Every structure is written in C-alpha cells, then in structure tokens.
Structure 1
Amino acid sequence: MKTFCKTGLLALCLSASAWAGTVQVTVLARDGQPLTDAVVRVEPTGHTPVAPAPVQVQVRQEGLAFVPALTVVPAGSTVEFVNLDRFEHHVRGTMGQALQTASSTGGFELRLGGRVEGRPAPAAKELLAQAGPIQLGCHLHGSMRGAIYVTDSAWVARTDAQGRITLENVPEGPAVVRVWHPDQLLDAPPRSVTVTPVTALQLDTPIQPRRRR
C-alpha cells in the first residue's frame, strides 16, 4: 500500500513511520522466584540507543550496607557517596563483574570518615562517564556489597520486587534482550524477540541472588 504525504500531513506521516512499542519483562531467579534488582536492556536491531540526560544521585552507607543496593544511572552522571554510620567506611568501585583492585580496572576508591553528631555526614562525589556495571565494596567491611549500572541507553530498567520492568517507546521489530545482576556468575545468554505494540515476556535465568546482610 502506498502512502502519500501532502504538506499538511507530513508530520503525521513521519510519526507513523517510526513505530514504537511497550516492552514488559518479568525476570525469574534460578529457584523460579522473581529476581529483584536485575538490569534489563533491550537492544533494537538497527537502532542506535539515545543516552538519557545525566543526573545526580546519592548512595548512602548506612547500617553496614550500601543503600540502595543497586543504582542505575545514565553515563555522565554524578554519584554522591554519603557515610551515615558513626565509623569509617571505604568505597571501592570496580568496573565489571568481579571485585578486583580498582586501579587495575579503571575504577575508583574513596575513604569516608565516620559521622559526627551535629556535623554534616562525610560525603564524596564521583563522575561516572563509562557505561557498564560497577561493583561496590568496602575494604574495611567485607560484607558490604552494592552495585551501580551506568547506561548509555534509555531502553534499560531495573526490576522491581516482582521482577518486572516496563520500557516505553522501543522501536518495533527484531531486538535482543539482555539481563545483568550483581550476583551473576556468568553473563546470561541474550534473548531474541520481536517488539510489537505491546510485548510481554518472561525470562528464566540461572542467577540466584545472595542474601543481603
């Protein structure tokens, strides 16, 4: 069927040529339970992702934990680390899956003194320019674990308590869906899908999250 665009209908024809759909994904852990705090990325074939605008967010060290445990931010964002505990903490940010020496992976290291009553909580900021996962740890308290996922695409989201995400305005057609989780041992295999006006799928993974202390 041919489409004819007259002057007054040009905008309508242009918008109709760029079809976009909604993608809903439910991610399950190895035991069949919803996988919370997993990062889902949809990669439409033939479409270059547009990076969201950078933001400023805060990650707290509180009760011997990173709060939130997982943060998703656009590339170029600034993360402020704040120590709300009364004792000293260290922040080690390592690019990639394993917790290694930050200096060998292009990561970062910070040291924050303990909070003193009546004074502002110790804080430090870090600019995150490179896309990819960052594992967070503390040299002083080995049980402390957290993660930041830096994205260069708007088609990325973190699963909620039901293991679900919803992405809007995803170009229709063939695409690949990838899942990343801070506790995964290996990269989960990608899933090929066809994006339609409303696409719903369930992803079973071999990932079993560790209990947070």
Structure 2
Amino acid sequence: MSRHHRRHLAAALLTAVCASAATAGTLQVTVTGKDGQPLPDAVVLVEPASGARGKAPPPVQAHIVQHKMQFVPAVSVVPVGSRVRFTNQDGWDHHVRGVPAGMAGLSTGASAGFELRLTGQVNGQPAASTEVVLGQPGPLQLGCHLHGSMRGFVYVADTPWVLKTDAQGMATLAEVPEGAARVRVWHPDQLVEGSPLPVQVQAVSTVTVPTQVVPRRRRL
C-alpha cells in the first residue's frame, strides 16, 4: 500500500470515529418515587427508537454477600453470562433462591432460576461461597427459605444502556445513540412497570422519570 493510500485510509478511519462519537450522547436520568423524592436502586434502561441494540456488554464477576440477614448489595445489575458469587458471612445457614421477579415469575415453572445452600461462617474459617452463571436476561428476586424477610435482586441485562440509580436517584448513561429513544425503569418495589418515557438524546441530555414506587424500608 502506498503512502498516499495509507494517509487516505487513516483519514477515513478518523472521520468514521469522529462521526460515530458525534452521534452518541450522554443521558442523565433522575428517578423519583411516589413522594417525589429521589429513588435509589432503580434500574434504568434506554431503548433507541431506531432499534439499535449496541454491542453486548461482556460478562463480569459480581459478588453478593449475606450479612446481618440481608443481601448486600440489595440490587445488582450484571450483563448476561456474568458469574455471581454468593457468600454467607452470617454465623447461621442461609439458602439462596433466585427466581424471575415480578410478572415474569408468574409465567415460569418451578424449575426456573436457581437454588443453593450456604453454611454459616465459623470463627477463624473462610465464609462459605458458591458461584452461579446468569444466562437469561431479566430481573431475579433473591430469597432465603430459612429467613423469609431476606430480599435481594439481580437485574440481568442484554443491553449496554442500563444502569442502577445511586443514592440521589441518578443514573448517567454514556454512549447512547443520539435521537429519539425510550427510558424504562424497573424497581424491586414497583407493582406494575410504568409506561416508557419518550426522550430525545442529544450530546448531553437530562430527564426526570417520576414513578409510583413506594420503596420498602430495609431491615438494619
């Protein structure tokens, strides 16, 4: 390849990269509950109206512990195919039962999800832990047969445009295709998923999504 052709190819690649960057924006989403206050632990999903799916995010290694009769973190978001390690840091046995959450759980059989048991931690010994691979997209509810008050959730995502809101109810999603899109919100305490909110993604955009969610108080 001649020097002229190499320069032409490099310029074309640079133009393509710049054009790609120019068509992607950042969308800052604030989710509020029924009381109008910021809603943490809400899962925000952006769906471009063009139907673009984006590059599937690679699987990750996540960790959820059982501590003081709680799943920590209470809500996790992981890509499809991720490995999740469960560890029991309490001094007594726990189950981990993962089943499809919400309406999806009503249409699945008893064999859906996964189940395992972790023995209690003994002083001076490593805490019991086990890994599972989550290969189906959608929300999972975590529970313990022995302690019915324990609740946790894992949202398994097959899109790059998904994020959990922080303590201020905010999620900032980058590299979202510019143009018309819809924002969907999923929360563990919602009774029915609300209608998607149409948005126009620009270089930098902000939107507030109100919900009817009244979050439960976690046990301390």
State whether TM-score is above 0.5. Answer: yes
2:118 counterpart residue number: 112
Q: Which residue of 172, 179, 182 corresponds with 1:166? A: 172
Q: Which amino acid aligns with 1:14?
A: A
Please state how far the C-alpha of 1:96 moved relative to its aligned partner: 2.7
Please state how far the C-alpha of 1:48 moved relative to its aligned partner: 1.7
Please state how far the C-alpha of 1:45 moved relative to its aligned partner: 2.1
Please state how far the C-alpha of 1:95 moved relative to its aligned partner: 1.3
The percent of aligned pairs where both chains have the same amino acid is 51
Range with greater deviation from structure 2 (98-107 or 146-155): 98-107
1:94 and 1:101 in contact (8 A); partners too: no
Q: Which residue of 137, 140, 144 corresponds with 1:138? A: 144
More helix by share: 2
Range with greater deviation from structure 2 (40-49 or 78-87): 40-49
Q: Which amino acid aligns with 1:73?
A: V
1:35 counterpart residue number: 39
Please state how far the C-alpha of 1:53 moved relative to its aligned partner: 1.0
Query: 1: CA distance between counterparts of 2:64 and 2:108?
Result: 18
Q: Could you state the TM-score of these two structures normalised by the residue count of structure 1?
A: 0.92
Give deviations 1:27-70, integer Å, cap 9, x for gaps.
00001111000000011122123221111111000000000101
Unaligned residue ranges in structure 1 (runs of 5+):
1-5
Query: 1: CA distance between counterparts of 2:168 and 2:11?
Result: 43
2:15 counterpart residue number: 13
Q: Which amino acid aligns with 2:102?
A: Q
Query: 2: CA distance between counterparts of 1:60 and 1:188?
Result: 30
Q: Could you state the TM-score of these two structures normalised by the residue count of structure 2?
A: 0.89
1:157 counterpart residue number: 163
2:4 counterpart residue number: none
Quick one: structure 1 residues 70 and 131, their matched pair in 2 at CA, closer, same or farther if it must change by over 3 Å?
A: same
1:93 and 1:102 in contact (8 A); partners too: no
Range with greater deviation from structure 2 (47-56 or 168-177): 47-56
Q: Which amino acid aligns with 2:149?
A: S
1:95 and 1:105 in contact (8 A); partners too: no
Give the RMSD, CA atoms, in angstroms: 1.8
Q: How many residues align?
A: 208
1:95 counterpart residue number: 100
Unaligned residue ranges in structure 2 (runs of 5+):
1-7
Please state how far the C-alpha of 1:103 moved relative to its aligned partner: 5.6
1:45 counterpart residue number: 49
2:76 counterpart residue number: 71
2:153 counterpart residue number: 147
Q: Secondary structure at the match of 2:14?
A: helix
Query: 2: CA distance between counterparts of 1:118 and 1:15?
Result: 54
